[in-house]
Structure 1
Amino acid sequence: MSTMLDEPVTTNQASHGTRLQAETTAVRLHIRWPGTRKSLSRDQKQQAAGAFDADSRTLSAAKRLFDTSHPSFRAVSAIKTKAGALWKGMTLPYIEPGIRLLRRGDVSEFDDRMIVIRAELVDAVEELDRCFAELVDQARTQLGHLFDAADYPVSVADQFAVSWDFPSVTPPAYLRTVNPELYEQECQRVKAQFAEAVELAEQTFAEELSQLVGHLAERLSGSVDGKPKVFRDSAIANLSEFFSRFQHLNIGSNEELEKLVESARQVISGVDPQDLRDRSTLRDRVARSLTEVEMSLEELMTDRPRRNIIRGPR
């Protein structure tokens, strides 16, 4: 893969990129998951098209193999979501798709928590497997002539899995001896990638904070049918969680962003959700302050756009 940045890496960017590279390791999450829908066969599409007097050649149709709202399948799906949330929540983005950056001090915690999630998935899949014959019977009734027993495995025990690894994103050491010039080129490429990862992290944090403060400010502003808008306690909790994650993952590369994060934190510090519902003056003050933070974040993202990357063939 070739990578080209559309503007040179500054000394400051390179410095933070070098620090990011030294303090993190790449981590990749793998999830094996069966398909829950299947395209209709040619004969089935013709049958469906006939019911609507349509041309089967212009019809795109699929059947749902089983009820994905069944409690046993929802339990498995919840664990999949949990695994993805942990992976994203403990890491910073990287420019390579499917790879994120984990602080080296967090490797053991991440591994331990993923092991627990993997065990939870095994238990949940076992329960789904016990219920699978029931789901197939339901599908036979619901799909009618579209049902095909060949679409269903005897067991789903091996259809689900979660795993993770720590791929190398640095040039292989042997290249230094085999081709020193190429090794140096690769080192410079990786250095540029980590500088870009710094900006990507800043952009991601800024966008997330903007969404969180914007959502809460909107729910605290105005009224509906003469009554204050409804907001959930999670709107406050999500911001608090963001502040903790930012404090842990931030590499100190953007002072302006840090100040805005701190401003938002001070706005909701010690604020009780029920007080916001009961005290209109507090509600209005918090809404105005959050709106100011949101506007400043928009200016920051506009003034400091993330550099574009042109990626060559993989």
Structure 2
Amino acid sequence: MDALLDVPRSNARSNQSTAQNLRANMAAVRVSFTWMGTRKTLTPEQRAQAAQPFEAEGQYLSAGKKLLDTSHSAFKAVTAIRGKIASTWKSMSLPFPEPGVRLIRQDEVANFSFLMTDYRAELADAVANLDRHYSELKVAAAERLGRLFNPGDYPETLVGLFDVSWDFPSVEPPDYLRELNPALYEAERARVAARFDEAVQLAESAFLEEFGKLVSHLTERIGGVGEDGKPKVFRDSAIGNLGDFFDRFRNLNVRSNEQLDELVAQAQRAVRGIGAQDLRDSGDLRQRVATELNRVQSALDGLMVDRPRRRIIRPSKPSEV
């Protein structure tokens, strides 16, 4: 979906300064996965066999088979680690308009690498455990697939077929272009500058959208009543997720939108020192917080409506993650 963001002309200079600051203090970071596929397309002969009960022609069918039971607890453990890795990468970084690349604070690079190293070891342990269940998974697959089962579809071991890697690619124009082709070097400098200008807009848009969803959800849960006339039930995570957002916003905010900064500060004041159980125990407190967050939500709605003076095209999600 296109992300639309209001960029008033009066802010052009401050936005340029923000982009320069982003460029000076952030590093590009990329995460990639090696991941065994668990589905395989049927051969033409197999498609023809599958089509017979329907009196159809195999060439007009698209069909595949599932090689392993991905709902097995050992396989789910491997998948869960991939989810944690992707979540950590995204929570510590900002979007960048190049597929598969995000921006991380330079002073967080070492910490990020440390976390990824730990996750990689955890993934290796989980894969080793999955490999111990591999024989039983193949037996189960043979029973489920029947004549579609082909031992040749299965490697001898799963070790090495699931892995994660990360790197910090340069997004700056190479220095050798400066002397080799000055005109091309300047063109690349302009392109990179435009990329970081767009990164500012993407970051602001991402924060605005996430903040709006969190405030809207919490306001609806604590301010509404159910069909029985009683206050709606809400999870502790409704408060916890907002607190996590405040921390991430403080660490990664590019300071490009004073209105958004102020609204985040207002929401922080509204819930400061208040836990989920406090809201459950006090109807008055619950109503007060809901009222204050409603004001924040109304202002956010205005920002969302007024922002499409400039269209930012979100890059497609990288296939690696």
| TM-score between the two structures when normalised by the length of structure 1 | 0.91
1:163 matched to which residue of 2? Answer: 165
Q: Which moved more, 1:55-64 or 1:111-120?
A: 55-64
Report Cα offsets for 1:43-68 as digits up to 9, x if no partner. 32233333345454443322221111
Distance verdict in 2 for CA 1:25–1:82, change over 3 Å:
same
Secondary structure in 1 aligned to 2:133?
helix
1:3 matched to which residue of 2? Answer: none
Counting only pairs closer than 5 Å after superposition, residues 1-314 of structure 1 correspond to structure 2 as: 10-220=12-222, 221-305=224-308, 307-308=310-311
Report Cα offsets for 1:198-222 as digits up to 9, x if no partner. 1110000010011111111222212
How many Å separate the matches in 1 of 2:153 and 2:67?
A: 8
Secondary structure in 1 aligned to 2:310?
coil
Measure how far apart 1:309 and its partner are.
Answer: 5.3
Report Cα offsets for 1:234-281 as digits up to 9, x if no partner. 111111011001101112221111111111112221222122223333
Answer whether contact 2:201 2:312 (CA < 8 A) is retained: no
Measure how far apart 1:310 and its partner are.
Answer: 7.3
Answer whether contact 1:205 1:246 (CA < 8 A) is retained: yes
How many Å separate the matches in 2 of 1:133 and 1:19?
A: 54
Distance verdict in 2 for CA 1:234–1:181, change over 3 Å:
same
Report Cα offsets for 1:148-182 as digits up to 9, x if no partner. 11111111111111000011101000100011122
Report how many aligned residue pairs link the two structures.
305
Answer whether contact 1:203 1:301 (CA < 8 A) is retained: no
How many Å separate the matches in 2 of 1:245 and 1:257?
A: 14
Paired AA for residue 284 in structure 1: Q
Answer whether contact 1:203 1:306 (CA < 8 A) is retained: no
Report Cα offsets for 1:266-304 as digits up to 9, x if no partner. 222122212222333332332333233223222213322
Secondary structure in 2 aligned to 1:43?
helix
Paired AA for residue 252 in structure 2: L
Measure how far apart 1:229 and its partner are.
Answer: 2.1
2:318 matched to which residue of 1? Answer: none
Percent of aligned pairs with the same residue? 51
Answer whether contact 2:173 2:188 (CA < 8 A) is retained: yes
How many Å separate the matches in 2 of 1:222 and 1:247?
A: 33
5+ unaligned residues in a row in structure 1: which ranges?
1-6
| TM-score between the two structures when normalised by the length of structure 2 | 0.89
Paired AA for residue 158 in structure 1: G
Secondary structure in 1 aligned to 2:65?
strand
Distance verdict in 2 for CA 1:309–1:232, change over 3 Å:
closer
Distance verdict in 2 for CA 1:108–1:273, change over 3 Å:
same
Structure with the greater relative contact order (CA < 8 A, sep ≥ 6): 1 or 2? 2
How many Å separate the matches in 2 of 1:310 and 1:35?
A: 30
Report Cα offsets for 1:16-52 as digits up to 9, x if no partner. 1110000001000011111112222223223333334
